[in-house]
Amino acid sequence: MVIRRFTPDDRQAYLGLAAAFYADGDAVDHPVPAHHAARTFDALMAGTPYADAFLAGEGGAPLGFILLAITWSNEAGGLTVWVEELLTLPQARGKGVGRALLDQAREAYPGANRFRLEVTRDNARAIRLYESIGYKPLPYDQMILDFPPPAP
């Protein structure tokens, strides 16, 4: 298995993987417009300091990906990396791909004070993975105020 950052040639692979992530009923509980992934990919390719992503693959075929959001947290005392999206394709699940992607994220940001993620309560498989690595639940409720970007 090879894990690397996305390149411009990976646009269609990323868009397909992001669509699969949002189509998975356990990953998110609301629809997300497909054009958001296109904007994210464009930002990644432009070198945004706010996001990073890695692709796992084998023999040229994608196995999964991880999308990270980079931020600062006073509560955590410094650099915080949000795991925005983590997807292992069904045929690769249970083979260490998700764990390897999470390990790659930690290697890429060794100075981070915190790694943080969201998981739906029904996603038991993901929760088991995260807890096995050391993630712990926070007793917080999430709240949002959205200002959606314009559709393309």
Query: What does the DSSP assignment read for 25-67?
Result: TTT-SS---HHHHHHHHHHHHTT-TTEEEEEEEETTEEEEEEE
CA distance 13 to 55: 9
Predicted TM-score (pTM) of the model is 0.93
Residue 151's pLDDT band, with cuts at 50, 70 and 90, is: confident
Contact 80, 118 (CB under 8 A): no
In the predicted model, is pLDDT for residue 25 greater than 70? no
The pLDDT of 86-107, averaged and rounded, is 96
